[in-house]
């Protein structure tokens, strides 16, 4: 056989792809327009060995960075709903707006202060440019607040120095220094003793600013603020536009953390955006590299591709056994509120919150999930505990969906990619029927035929009605549409040599009749009785289980038989196990004749 390998040569045998044979043709994309990102000279970096064992401080900037990126910024009512949600979830630092931007933000800040909506342990913060009239207005918005932080920013990156401020390094540093001084002066003048006042500074686009200059500006700002015991300064180092790998970002954090002279009085804060799609990793690695605090938005709202997603970050900690200090137990409610406030939908694959993130359609995933749930139950029982008390270990499910308020219903959804495990899961979960393995295979072929013919998803209700129609036509079935044999009542007697005699009142082909037979037990006696109506049945396998607890508990019996040369399963459900097994025989017999 002749094949063409990836390099385009005809060869006698397929050639494996190696770096040597891989095509290196230019793509034609204008790569010359972009330069590589500068590495940090920190060969003794320590962050890769660090582990996150406690949650960082969180700041939600949904009402500021998130809001400023919306097509339709939040109305006062939507802002208030978001604020109340953030408080309820447990955020203790909330950036509530840019009060000097206009009346809407100013009035909102005033409203939450005047209406007493801010719990005592929550600090609000407000953002301002380093311009005197804006700083004054910003501080005015905070009058009467119990705990408030002014957050001042100016861009420090070279392009901004050249293009926006048209100034030297010294001049740009001076903007930060003067801004800090003005914030302190206006806070002193305008705010009363009831306000615990804090200060935050951000060298905007920290990630594009030369490290030595970012440090120089931060140090100059600290010289003005004079951080000390009980007087922290928050230095927030934003990846305003994400351009580096998370590892380089972490290097920059470790470098800054090592070089800041008053590090113990500095709260080092990270503010990643998601332009490369790696904001979550950037935040996590920055925390490993020394960041004390993370700024972001719920579900990654925010400028362009968004701020870092606070939900994913918090849930990532949770899934590692670290308390995020935030309550995500009603994730769908959080999601609905966020969608309402931002007027934007959350993607079905959004980590932890999307509609499909705890759902498996594919057979091998479903099989493993079902086995995982079964193993959890067995392990818990063996240790005398409940499933909720042992370590979560269900394949393909990073967390227990119940922990975020989801039910198990959507965990397994069935389509043409599904296998027996998923279908068995639906029957067990929704109907307490634990089908024997070979019966699972039999029933999954029936479902598979339907999904192949009709395409799309088959719902749990459709699976159940197919199951009823196939195995339970009467009387448990949805419709008494078919079934050659129906039993109405039966009696067994056991004689002295342990032979059972069974007498059954039945309807066969629409005619009422009495069937009678003997055997080693009721099932074999019933097989014997069926001979009278020309049915030759032989038992191959039998299992049963109870479906619930208590006096009125139902039992399910499963019977595999060879009937007139066909091997098939039947099921019977009844409070009495003998009746359940007779019904299972009827189920199989009727299927054979169908
Ligand atoms: C990365 C971030 O997310 S930063 C936050 C961005 N958010 C926002 O801007 C939302 C709210 N902002 C606004 O509503 C408006 O910008 C306002 C009302 C605050 C100010 O509006 P304007 O007075 O029209 O000024 P504008 O925002 O256009 O800023 C331009 C001027 O401010 C200067 N400037 C920009 N940022 C800063 C800063 N942080 N500190 C000092 N000056 C600054 C610019 O150099 C420019 O000066 P120039 O006119 O001398 O060239
Ligand atoms: C104001 C700063 C922190 C900001 O939002 C950014 O740089 O993205």
Bridge-based pairing state of the strands 537-546 and 123-129: unpaired
Q: For residue 200, what pLDDT band results from cuts at 50, 70 and 90?
A: very high
- Taking the CA of 205 as reference, the closest ligand is 2
The answer to whether the CB of 153 is under 6 A from ligand 2 is yes
Q: Is the pLDDT of residue 410 over 90?
A: no
Alpha helices by DSSP H, listed for 303-436, are 310-318, 331-342, 363-382, 420-431
- Position of tokens 């950036």? 95
Torsion angles phi and psi, residue 504, rounded to 5:
-125, 130
Exposure pattern of 393-429 as b/e (b: 16+ CB <10 Å)? ebeebbbbbebbebebeebbbbbbebbbbbbbbbbbb
Best mutation site among 153, 243, 294 for ligand 2 pocket (most ligand atoms within 8 Å of CB): 153
Give nearest CA residue, ligand 1 atom 20.
101
Give residue 163's pLDDT.
Answer: 95
Element (H, E) at 221: helix 211-225
Ordered DSSP codes for 253-291: HHHHHHH-TTGGGEEEEEEEB-TTS-HHHHHHHHHHTT-
Q: For residue 279, what pLDDT band results from cuts at 50, 70 and 90?
A: very high
Residue 202 Cα to ligand 2 middle (Å): 7
Give nearest CA residue, ligand 1 atom 34.
129
**Ligand 1 atom at shortest distance from the alpha carbon of 65:** 3
DSSP state of 63: I
Give residue 67's pLDDT.
Answer: 98
Best mutation site among 271, 302, 308 for ligand 2 pocket (most ligand atoms within 8 Å of CB): 271
The set of protein residues with a Cβ atom below 6 angstroms from ligand 1 is 65, 68, 98, 100-101, 129-131, 134, 153-154, 164-165, 175, 204, 240
436-442 contacts at long range (C-beta below 8 A, 24 or more positions apart): 436/541, 436/543, 436/558, 436/560, 436/569, 438/541, 438/560, 438/569, 439/558, 439/560, 439/569, 439/571, 442/568, 442/569
Residue 292 Cα to ligand 2 middle (Å): 17
DSSP state of 529: H
Give residue 49's pLDDT.
Answer: 98
Radius of gyration of the chain measured on its C-alpha atoms: 34
Give residue 594's pLDDT.
Answer: 80
Q: Is the pLDDT of residue 6 over 80?
A: no
- Taking the CA of 177 as reference, the closest ligand is 1
User: Does residue 503 have a cis peptide bond before it, meaning omega lies within 30 degrees of 0?
Assistant: no
Q: Taking all residues of the chain, what is their mean pLDDT, rounded to a whole number?
A: 93
Give nearest CA residue, ligand 1 atom 12.
101
Could you tell me which residues are beta bridge partners of residue 297? 309
Q: Residue 218's closest CA among 230, 227, 228?
A: 227
**Ligand 2 atom at shortest distance from the alpha carbon of 204:** 7
Q: Is the pLDDT of residue 2 over 70?
A: no
* 96 C-beta neighbours (distance < 10 Å), count: 30
Give residue 493's pLDDT.
Answer: 82
Cβ pair 380, 393 in contact under 8 A: no
The arithmetic mean of pLDDT across residues 121-149, rounded, is: 98
Q: Is the pLDDT of residue 23 over 80?
A: no
ipTM above 0.85, yes or no: yes
Q: What are 93-127's pLDDT values in tens digits? A: 999 999 999 999 999 999 999 999 999 999 999 99
Q: State how far the alpha carbon of 188 is from the alpha carbons of 99, 136, 463, 536, 537, in Å.
A: 18, 11, 70, 98, 95
Could you tell me which residues are beta bridge partners of residue 187? none
SS3 144: coil
Give nearest CA residue, ligand 2 atom 7.
240
Cβ pair 369, 395 in contact under 8 A: yes
Residue 129 Cα to ligand 1 middle (Å): 6
Best mutation site among 240, 268, 273, 282 for ligand 2 pocket (most ligand atoms within 8 Å of CB): 240
Could you tell me which residues are beta bridge partners of residue 558? 543, 571
- pTM of this structure: 0.87
Q: How far apart are the first and last CA of the chain?
A: 50
| CA angle (582, 585, 588) in 5-degree steps | 155
Distance separating alpha carbons of residues 501 and 498, to the nearest angstrom: 10
The answer to whether the CB of 236 is under 6 A from ligand 2 is yes
**Ligand 2 atom at shortest distance from the alpha carbon of 61:** 5
Distance separating alpha carbons of residues 242 and 262, to the nearest angstrom: 27
Distance separating alpha carbons of residues 79 and 105, to the nearest angstrom: 9
Q: Residue 302's closest CA among 272, 324, 263?
A: 272
| CA angle (120, 123, 129) in 5-degree steps | 150
The arithmetic mean of pLDDT across residues 278-305, rounded, is: 98
Give nearest CA residue, ligand 1 atom 41.
130
Please state, for a pLDDT cut of 70, what percent of the chain lies above it: 94
The arithmetic mean of pLDDT across residues 230-239, rounded, is: 98
Helix 103-114 and helix 76-89, axial crossing angle in degrees, nearest 10: 50
SS3 467: helix
Q: What are 320-373's pLDDT values in tens digits? A: 999 999 999 999 999 999 999 999 999 999 999 999 999 999 999 999 999 999
Cβ pair 292, 56 in contact under 8 A: yes
Q: Is the pLDDT of residue 201 over 80?
A: yes
Give residue 474's pLDDT.
Answer: 60
């Amino acid at each position: 056989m002749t094949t063409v390998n990836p390099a385009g040569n005809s060869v006698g045998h397929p050639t494996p792809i190696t770096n040597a044979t891989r095509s290196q043709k230019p793509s034609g994309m204008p790569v010359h327009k972009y330069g590589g990102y500068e590495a940090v000279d920190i060969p003794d970096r320590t962050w890769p060995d660090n582990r996150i064992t406690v949650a960082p401080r969180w700041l939600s900037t949904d009402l500021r960075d998130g809001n400023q990126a919306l097509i339709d910024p939040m109305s006062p009512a939507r802002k208030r709903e978001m604020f109340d949600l953030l408080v309820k979830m447990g955020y203790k630092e909330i950036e509530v707006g840019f009060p000097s931007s206009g009346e809407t933000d100013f009035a909102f800040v005033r409203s939450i202060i005047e209406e007493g909506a801010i719990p005592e342990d929550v600090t609000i913060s407000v953002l301002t440019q380093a311009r005197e009239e804006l700083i004054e207005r910003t501080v005015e918005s905070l009058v009467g607040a119990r705990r408030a932080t002014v957050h001042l920013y100016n861009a420090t990156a070279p392009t901004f120095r050249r293009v926006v401020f048209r100034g030297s390094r010294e001049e740009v540093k001076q903007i930060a220094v003067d801004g800090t001084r003005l914030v302190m002066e206006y806070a002193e003048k305008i705010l009363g003793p009831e306000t615990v006042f804090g200060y935050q500074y951000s060298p905007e686009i920290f990630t594009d600013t030369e490290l030595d200059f970012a440090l120089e500006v931060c140090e100059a700002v600290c010289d003005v603020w004079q951080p000390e015991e009980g007087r922290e300064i928050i230095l927030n180092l934003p990846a305003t536009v994400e351009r580096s790998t998370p590892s380089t970002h972490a290097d920059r954090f470790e470098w800054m953390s090592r070089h800041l002279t008053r590090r113990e009085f500095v709260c080092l804060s990270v503010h990643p955006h998601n332009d490369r799609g790696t904001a979550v990793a950037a935040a996590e690695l920055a925390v490993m590299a020394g960041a004390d605090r993370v700024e972001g938005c719920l579900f990654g709202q925010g400028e362009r591709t968004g701020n870092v997603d606070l939900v994913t970050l918090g849930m990532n900690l949770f899934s590692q056994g670290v308390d995020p200090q935030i309550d995500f137990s009603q994730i769908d409610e959080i999601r609905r509120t966020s969608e309402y406030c931002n007027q934007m939908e959350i993607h079905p694959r959004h980590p932890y919150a999307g509609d499909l993130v705890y759902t498996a359609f594919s057979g091998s995933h479903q099989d493993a999930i079902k086995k995982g749930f079964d193993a959890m139950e067995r392990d818990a029982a063996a240790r005398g505990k409940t499933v909720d008390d042992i370590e979560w270990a269900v394949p393909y499910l990073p967390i227990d969906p119940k922990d975020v308020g989801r039910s198990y219903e959507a965990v397994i959804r069935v389509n043409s990619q599904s296998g027996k495990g998923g279908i068995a899961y639906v029957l067990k979960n929704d109907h307490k029927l634990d089908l024997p393995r070979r019966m699972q295979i039999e029933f999954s072929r029936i479902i598979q035929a339907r999904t192949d013919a009709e395409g799309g998803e088959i719902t749990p209700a459709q699976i159940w009605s197919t199951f009823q129609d196939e195995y339970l036509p009467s009387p448990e079935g949805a419709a008494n549409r078919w079934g050659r044999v129906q039993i109405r009542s039966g009696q067994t007697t056991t004689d002295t040599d342990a032979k059972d005699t069974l007498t059954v009142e039945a309807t066969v082909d629409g005619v009422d009749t009495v069937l009678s037979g003997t055997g080693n037990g009721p099932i074999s006696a019933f097989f014997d009785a069926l001979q009278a109506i020309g049915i030759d049945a032989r038992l191959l396998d039998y299992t049963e289980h109870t479906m619930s607890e208590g006096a009125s508990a139902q039992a399910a019996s499963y019977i595999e038989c060879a009937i007139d040369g066909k091997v098939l399963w039947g099921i019977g459900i009844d409070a009495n196990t003998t009746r359940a097994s007779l019904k299972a025989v009827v189920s199989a017999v009727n299927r054979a004749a169908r």
